[in-house]
Amino acid sequence: MANKTIQLKGRIFMTFNIKAVTGLHIGGSETGIEIGGVDKVVIRDPITNRPYIPGSSLKGKVRSLLEKYLGLPLNRPIGNTYIHSCGKGDEKKYPDCHVCQIFGVPGEVDFATPTRLVVRDVHLREESAKELIEKARTDLPYTEIKTEVSIDRVTSAANPRRIERVPAGAVFGPAELVYSIYEGTDDKGNGIADPNKDVERLRILVKGLQLLEDDYLGGLGSRGSGKVQLEGITVSVRQGEKYLEKPQEVGKYNSLAELIGDLDNLVQRIKQAFGLA
């Protein structure tokens, strides 16, 4: 499939706030950092010193949850972990692989189409940062220290460690997911990117966000950290010929549950905006 024609038909934008329902720990570099004896620090913006949620953490977590939900083989090493990815020999599987179509595949496969999903970094909201500094009086700027203790099963000796977390109630946002819609053919005229299918796959992305709310973001989730809630969701589109115009809002929701309840209608409105229905 050496010769391909790919046309961007437009983009779907989903923005929302992420509320930490329990303390949130997304680890940062601990090289050269010794802040009050903290064993695990959070990632911070080097300019504002405020904690933030990297887009890579949010995107990677949703991808991981969908891979497990869909029962996909974890066949590609990334550092010390494995993810699912269609590769050489998977040309027939790739068109129907929701995860690879949405989140992307390695560039060395010649049948790959562009990654649909872009996930931005999510910064601490100004009002939340102000509240943490002025009212919460946290152990460190914007964060709390949670002490955990492991007990030696033989000697009963306690081994404490100190974990830095963003306190429950903190709000990050606006998060922005940018989802591209493509149309394309190969050199034989066969379809390799279908805008109808791209819009329908938005259902899979929403399912991934629901899986996230039911799971956790960041580390230490099995010990209580990282439960999050999505709030104030807005969905809008920019399409082809009208791309330079103001984005067209197609849905506004207080919660993810509210969006899911309207998902069929939302998908239909998006198709209408792109001239697909």
The pLDDT assigned to 254 comes to: 98
Residue type, 131: E
Site of tokens 């949620």: 53
Check whether 274 has a pLDDT greater than 60.
Answer: yes
> How much is the pLDDT for 37?
67
Burial 162-195 (b: 16+ CB within 10 A, else e): bbbbbbeebbbbbbbbebbbbbbeeeeeeebbbb
Q: Which position has the higher pLDDT, 152 or 164?
A: 164
pLDDT in tens, 232-249: 999 999 998 899 999 999
pTM beyond cutoff 0.85? yes
> Residue 31: pLDDT above 80?
no
pLDDT of res. 36 = 55
**pLDDT (tens digit, 9 = 90+) per residue, 202-234?**
999 999 999 999 999 999 999 999 999 999 999
Q: How far apart are CA 51 and CA 74, in angstroms?
A: 31
pLDDT of residue 29: 62
Confidence at residue 28, expressed as pLDDT on a 0 to 100 scale:
74
Q: Residue 128 pLDDT > 70, yes or no?
A: yes
What's at 16, amino acid-wise? Answer: F
> Which range (28-32, 122-126, 226-230) has the least confidence?
28-32
Q: Could you list the beta-strand ranges (E) of 121-263.
A: 122-123, 144-151, 158-165, 171-186, 191-193, 228-239, 248-255
Q: What is the pLDDT of residue 157?
A: 76
For the chain, what percentages of helix, strand and coil (3-state, to nearest 5) are there?
Answer: 30, 35, 40
Q: How far apart are CA 20 and CA 91, in angstroms?
A: 40
Give the tens place of pLDDT for each residue, 36-68: 568 889 999 999 999 999 999 999 999 999 999
pLDDT at 89: 87
Q: Residue ranges per domain, the chain? A: 4-273
Q: Calculate mean pLDDT across residues 185-195.
A: 83
Say which residue, 29 or 108, is predicted with more confidence: 108
Report cis status (omega within 30 of 0) of the bond before 247.
no
Mean pLDDT of the region 113-132: 96
Task: Provide the mean pLDDT of the chain.
Answer: 91
